[in-house]
Amino acid sequence: MPQTIEPLIKLAETDRDLQKFVFAKSHLERQIDKARSVVDQHQKTIQQKKDEFKLLIAECKNVKNNLQIQEELISRLDSQVPKIRNEKEFATSKNQLEEARKILGLLEDNMLDLDLKKEDLEKEIGTINNQLSESNTEFEQETSGLLKKQAKAEKKIESLEPRRKRLLKKVPQKIKRFFERCQESGISTPICAIENKSCSGCNMVLLPQLVNELMTNTDSHKNCPNCSRILYFPEVEEEEDSAA
């Protein structure tokens, strides 16, 4: 491989490898997140149900306090009956007792309803806990391989990024600026090989003259007339053409 073009080609190859592993890492993260979302949803649902249960507990406590108040009121009114000396007081006391017993009955019905809701909610939380346990097991089984692949991709990225920086320092400043501008504008592969007489970046068929120039001088490069990427002619392809 000619020395002057070699750093440029190695930079292009390193960039392609880097992009491949960055994409793989991103894809694996999405797969892991998707698997984790089931676990997260169960955890979120359990937390919501636990919050509902706390509200029921607080409501039960409030109803119990009101029950106690009504029972004390009824007890007090009952104790006053023997002391009543006229019909007016008796009628008033009777009305108060009836109203207190009515409220007591409503509170007891309310308490029974709350107790039933608590039982149902406890059963529901138990069911969701079982589902959470199952989804946790499935998540661990599903992601054990994915996490290993993710760690491998991260290790590759860690090794390729310093290599890319070293290679970028070896290319001429003019090409380096062009390379950086391309990547800033979203062109992820500023340097491309000629494949099947076309730019491998934009797939445009190139003029025979441009292909011949680079084929005869593999130590040179030109820009694609369509996408402006830097083009080079790979030595392997040249050797295959010669053999043919």
**Structural domains of the chain, ranges and CATH numbers in brackets:** 22-158 (1.10.287.1490), 173-243 (no CATH)
CB atoms within 10 A of CB 46: 16
Q: Are 111 and 60 in contact (CB under 8 A)?
A: yes
Q: Provide CB contacts within 8 A for 12, sequence distance 6+.
A: 189, 190, 191, 192, 193, 232
Rounded distance between C-alpha atoms, residue 119 and residue 53, angstroms:
10
Tokens representing residue 165 in the block: 């920086």
pLDDT at 170: 82
pLDDT at 4: 63
Q: Which residue has the tokens 């017993």?
A: 101
Highest averaged pLDDT of the listed ranges 104-118, 139-153, 171-185: 104-118
Under the banding of pLDDT at 50, 70 and 90, the label for residue 236 is low
| pTM flag (> 0.95) | no
Rounded distance between C-alpha atoms, residue 111 and residue 101, angstroms:
15
With a cut of 70, say whether residue 244 has pLDDT above it. Answer: no
Q: Are 95 and 12 in contact (CB under 8 A)?
A: no
With a cut of 90, say whether residue 171 has pLDDT above it. Answer: no
Which has the closest alpha carbon to 223: 191, 195, 183?
191
Percent of the residues in the chain that have a pLDDT greater than 90, as a whole number: 43
Q: What is the pLDDT of residues 20-57, one digit of tens each?
A: 999 999 999 988 888 888 889 989 999 999 999 999 99
Q: Are 234 and 194 in contact (CB under 8 A)?
A: yes
With a cut of 60, say whether residue 237 has pLDDT above it. Answer: no
pLDDT at 241: 44
Q: Provide CB contacts within 8 A for 26, sequence distance 6+.
A: none
Rounded distance between C-alpha atoms, residue 41 and residue 131, angstroms:
11
pLDDT at 2: 45
pLDDT at 197: 92
